[in-house]
Chain A
Amino acid sequence: MTILWTDGLIYLLVIFVTVICVFISQKPQFKRPLQKISSSKTGMVSLLILVFFVVIGLLDSIHFKSTENRTHEIISLLDYWAKPLRLQSEKTYSSPFSAYLYSKETITLENGKTEWGYPRLKYGGVHLNDPDNELSRDVLYKASIGFIRGATLVLLFTVLLWSFYHDRDKAIFKSAVSKTVWLTLFLLVSISYMLIYLSSYYHVLGTDKVGEDVFYQAVKSIRTGLVIGSLTTMIMLPLAIVFGIMAGFFRGWVDDVIQYVYTTLNSIPGVLLIAASILMVQVYMSNHAEDFNSLIVRSDMRLLFLCLILGVTSWTGLCRMLRAETLKLREMEYVQAAQALGVKQSTILIRHILPNVMHIVLISVVLDFSALVLAEAVLSYINIGVDPTTYSWGNMINGARLEMAREPVVWWSLMASFVFMFSLVLAANLFADTVRNAFDPRRAEQGA
């Protein structure tokens, strides 16, 4: 097993989140908010979808050296399972569920003659003899087989669970929320199974310019998106929260210093800093070539530095908001009452200020999450984003720039990255909303 830098950080993050979850679930005062989350349909469904994305991302973060051919390439568990998808590349563009290439070529027929037309694909739909007539029926047939297999899997699993637990708490199976969650799970697993099954016969979302499967690219991009979203936030949050609250609460010279720092940082264009740091990394890597001997290690380093520098440039906005909110809160009478009771300033910060600015943090983090994924796309445009060999929605969107101008239009790359990004960001938004409502005691009373 090989642990890349970002892998290690992701493992740490997972451990950290697990510890927090365990800690929260044991405190009695968090019982009500947790119940509130678990009884919200939107919350649970979006959590399920988020978990699904995270699981894919985690599978893609367990790397090892492949033994399949002698190159000793570093691949992930996801790559290993998706071997056909990864290796079966076509010559160039092909549309979803197609058996032909998307562009005309000279084809050498069996009798030696040449013809100008659309050649058959090497892998997509090869099992068909007469694609023009058989294709749609075959796709439907294979789709239903996949769906039924997936559905059977979920049903089997449910029956197993039922037989173990139905005696203990029947309520769990009867509540409306668990029905919705079950339905989502059913659809999620069945459809994924269907897609996986189909993708061993067809390119479900077509292929890109160099003939790589777009479905595979989109799935691989999940990890990149999650890494950029979560690691950047992890770097940005502590800076923004600590500096913002301190500036607002202590005022005076502390406020002055922090304000100078972020005004200075803000006045330097972010792109400039990002470009500089990415160039720095590249120079470092070319000077220490022996440490960065594989393509994936190099692109991982670049991804890590991108997260770092995005984190360092993006904390100022949240910091300013938190400072303003803290300025307001510190004049609240409950803060003054705490001061009159001799509560230490650090305790006041943690107990009175921090919980009351958390809603701002939560909202802006979730909004930033989508902005960061987009920022990555924009940065790829001027060649200072993630490494071109890294699969990312940004790179896919960037590539789609030229594809959209092509005639006939190649729409599937853009569509695929859009659908994946949309569902991830939407799920994150809805879940964050539920969490915020659940942890606000004033809202907790008033239904959804």
Chain B
Amino acid sequence: MENQLLQVNNLSVSFKDDTVVNQISFDVFKGETFALVGESGSGKSITALSVLRLLPNNALVSADKISLNNENLLTIPEIDFCKVRGKRIGLIFQDPMSSLNPVMTIGEQIAEVIQIHFKLSKQDIQKTVLELMEQVELPEPLRRINEYPHQLSGGQRQRVMIAIALAGKPDLLIADEPTTALDVTIQAQILNLLKSIQKKTGMALWLISHDLALVSNMADRIAVMQRGKIVETGITKEFFKHAKHPYSLQLLAALPSMTSCVDKPLSNNAKANDFLKVEQLKIHYPIRKGFFKRIVDYVKAVDGVDFELQKGKTLALVGESGCGKTTLGKGLVNLIPKTAGRVFLENIDLSCLKAGELRRKRSDIQIVFQDPFASMNPRMLVGDIIAEGIQSLYPKIDLVDSQAQVAALLKQVELPVESALRYPHEFSGGQRQRICIARALAVKPKLIVCDEPTSALDVSVQAQIIELLKKLQKEQGISYLFITHDLAVVAEIADDVAVMYQGKIVEQGGVEQVLMNPKHQYTKKLLQAVPQIIN
């Protein structure tokens, strides 16, 4: 075909003996959006970096052909390659927090790229910077130009990143998970922005993502990567209708779907047995200033929240980052002191208990955290990690018994019993999350607060963990408070939903009612922003 922009033939990348990318070939056409999809570790980012020659020195790259506009990129010497990077190929990274220099103003960082690639006078550069900032729809560009990255929100920072990538007027823009670190509503805005810029400039967009739903909305063509190989390539519409490769099918099946909540039995007779009841819960952080650290104001992270949860049911707490949902979860587990309000667990007011009684009550409410890599002490054996709660809350149980319990717990979360004698780093993300669940289960809790337990995991692993949680609920009648930002996951697991916005619950009710028939303005906005697979 005539209009190939980027051609890659038989690209392989290996580190020492590990082949990370294995003989892959693909093309990106002019003006199209090409998506490379795969789970973490499948080699999709490495592919992008190897095209840009940004890999570390110990990487071995080999390819038959990498060409841009029919010009062979492999033969360009390193010193001239700088003119390809940034000018002809732009790049956006995942985390806008760490990809901007915190001690340079926004204007300087955008101007830097222009200075390198174009010979312009100072005024012209300033003008171009402002134009770029308008192009990425940054509000008040005249003021923002002199601000530092920490003064901007996450979405605004990503806009700055896009402005920097566009500064060289590239033919190809590589976006490596551009919205993974952002909230859904912001994600929708950024994606719309990318689409409109693409329409205006006619550049090609190479999108790298793990999110199939997002890709279905954005891409013209799609390639699925598994363990360093491209297993299937196709036009997006066709792909989502009838994917051929078993791995693609598996990925599609693992996707949580919003419609799964339809026809779920409603949690009836609500007032019969109140298991957990939260009344006017407030958690405020004091802002201290001055020499004597006087309290000048409060951050109202959780500001008067009421909800109820029944035994053996799941309440999903939904909201964007910073809305106070994690604070609320930690407050329930008593990791953060509550400012006001009352929490009843089986009609016992937890806020009136003395320290000793509260410690015993700890076994009733447990928590599972988001990051499976940070939630276990790397220097302890898995067996000891799980047994920690047993030792601390049931000191009478002797060593042999507690070892037997650990073995039983590992079986429950579907891990081999031998895992007890291994260290956390030997396990994958999903396995670690299972260990964390086993640790919480060890003290026989009645309620588990799940703080985004699946958001650091791949879709297929996420589906497994959700299945496990459902299974445990059925077997042991545990209630979950499931904190998440992912509405599709909510549809899969929750019985009831509470939507949180700026420290308050704005809407709550049965899952079908809230997701299919939202009342509050904010819930509607949230639901609209969720990318859906277009069939």
Contact = CB atoms under 8 A, between A and B. Distances in A.
B425 A342 contact: no
Given A339-B335, A340-B333, A340-B366, A334 B392 contact: no
Interface in B375-422: 375-381, 385, 388-389, 392-393
A341 B443 contact: yes
B436 interface: yes
Contacts of B379: 355-356, 440-441
Nearest to A356: B379
Q: Sort chain B's interface into a size bin.
A: 20 to 34
B392 A344 contact: yes
B363 interface: yes
A440 B378 CA distance: 8
Nearest to B376: A334
A352 B392 CA distance: 14
B374 interface: yes
A9 interface: no
A29 B381 CA distance: 9
A292 B196 CA distance: 90
B330 A341 contact: no
Nearest to B333: A340
A413 B257 CA distance: 80
Given A341-B362, A344-B392, A356 B367 contact: no
Nearest to B336: A336
B359 interface: yes
Contacts of A440: 379
A332 interface: yes
Nearest to A332: B374
A352 B378 CA distance: 9
B439 interface: yes
A387 B425 CA distance: 52
B392 A347 contact: yes
Contacts of B443: 341
A351 B392 contact: no
A371 interface: no
A356 B375 contact: no
A110 interface: no
Contacts of A356: 377-379
Q: Is the interface of A mostly helix, strand, loop or mixed?
A: helix
B366 A341 contact: yes
Contacts of A339: 335
B423 interface: yes
B366 A333 contact: no
A352 B334 CA distance: 19
Given A338-B388, A342-B359, A342-B393, A352 B369 contact: no
Contacts of A288: none
Interface in A278-309: none
B418 to A, nearest CB: 15
Contact of B374 (A333, A343, A352, A441): A333
Contacts of A347: 392
Interface string B292-336: 000000000000000000000000000000000000001001110
Interface in A328-375: 332-334, 336-344, 347, 351-352, 355-356
A24 to B, nearest CB: 14
Contacts of B381: 29
Contacts of A334: 374-377, 385
Given A333-B371, A334-B374, A336-B369, A341 B393 contact: yes
B426 interface: yes
Contacts of B360: 342
B378 A337 contact: no
Interface string B328-365: 00100111000000000000000000000001101101
A445 B393 contact: no
A442 interface: yes
B409 to A, nearest CB: 13
Contacts of B423: 441-442, 444
A344 B443 CA distance: 15
A336 B330 contact: yes
Given A340-B362, A342-B359, 9 more contacts: A333-B375, A337-B440, A339-B335, A340-B365, A341-B362, A342-B393, A343-B389, A356-B379, A442-B425
Interface of B: 330, 333-335, 359-360, 362-363, 365-367, 369-371, 374-381, 385, 388-389, 392-393, 423, 425-426, 436, 439-440, 443
7 contacts: A332-B374, A334-B377, A336-B369, A337-B369, A342-B363, A356-B378, A442-B378
